[in-house]
Amino acid sequence: MMYSNGFALAVKKNGNTLREVRRDGRMTTFLPFNSEYSIFLKNNNDRRALVNIFVDGTLAVSDLVIRPNWSGDIERFLVDGNLDSGRKFKFVSLDHPDVQDPSSQENGVIKAEFWLEKEFRMPAIHVDPWDHKTIGYPPYRPWTKTDDNTGEFTNTGGLIGSSGMRTNSISSSMLRSCNVSKQSLTADAGATVEGGYSGQSFGTTTFGIKEPNSTILEVCLRSSDKAVTVKDTRNRKCVECGRKARKRDNFCPGCGASLPDLVSV
């Protein structure tokens, strides 16, 4: 699982978190072709956050608001502003007919960009003009109440599309990468297309001003015969000598090879 500045990103299959290893200079996770997957997000900050998710270089889910100290899974594209249902994420080989640009270098890359909501403080006011005692208001947190007293979150548990700023969605015809530079097609490379039906729903809310600096987390999808989950690492084997290693081992106890890069999949 990728962590930075109180945010986390991971890929899940059938509810199990997939393990990342460093490969070719980037964090990579493995799952079989034709697998549907979900994207795990976490906001461990005490403020709301806005997140955009890019899949294969294309904006797939935009302007989603995550409540403080919340975590959950995103299993589908947010297409054409449909907040009630859509199509799941599905990982396929590059020769699949639904892959828009098999030569894109962004194929297989999942990127989440997070912004915290700026927290405002009201100016201090004078309580007693004679002794100039002052009192300050607490930080302004607009998500603590709603005008209709019904709450602002839906059954997604805290993940909602924002209405205060325009929610940008994409149509299926736009699911192509903006980066069209060529790459050599490797046997385990793949891309994401629309999968089966998903009834995951989103609501609407307003969002204040974004902090100027964002946090970006990335993970790359590659194929394997089976999904490599976090639990699988307890029985991992070195691909150099085949010896079993413990979960906490960073190096093979047999040949000394670096295990994070050499896990049998």
Residues 92, 22, single domain; the answer is yes
Mean pLDDT confidence for 25-39: 93
The whole-model pTM stands at: 0.69
Write down the mean pLDDT value for the chain.
Answer: 76
Radius of gyration of the chain (CA): 22
Most confident segment among 57-71, 140-154, 240-254: 57-71
Are the beta carbons of 31 and 91 closer than 8 angstroms?
yes
Q: Write down the pLDDT at residue 254.
A: 82
Structural domain including 245 reads: 233-265
Residues 177, 189, single domain; the answer is yes
Are the beta carbons of 227 and 215 closer than 8 angstroms?
no
Residues 190, 96, single domain; the answer is yes
The strand pairing partners of 229, in sequence order, are 18
Residue 147 has pLDDT above 70, yes or no: no
88 in any annotated domain = yes
Strand, helix or coil for residue 217 = strand
Q: Which tens digit of pLDDT belongs to each residue from 210-263?
A: 999 999 999 999 998 877 776 655 566 776 677 877 766 777 888 877 665 444
Residues 257, 244, single domain; the answer is yes
Question: How many domains does one find in the chain?
Answer: 2
Q: Which tens digit of pLDDT belongs to each residue from 9-28?
A: 999 999 899 988 888 888 99
Q: Per the structure block, which two tokens stand in for 238? A: 């070195």
254 in any annotated domain = yes
Q: Write down the pLDDT at residue 95.
A: 93
Q: Write down the pLDDT at residue 249.
A: 76
Q: Per the structure block, which two tokens stand in for 109? A: 């890359």
Length of the chain: 265
215 in any annotated domain = yes
Residues 171, 58, single domain; the answer is yes
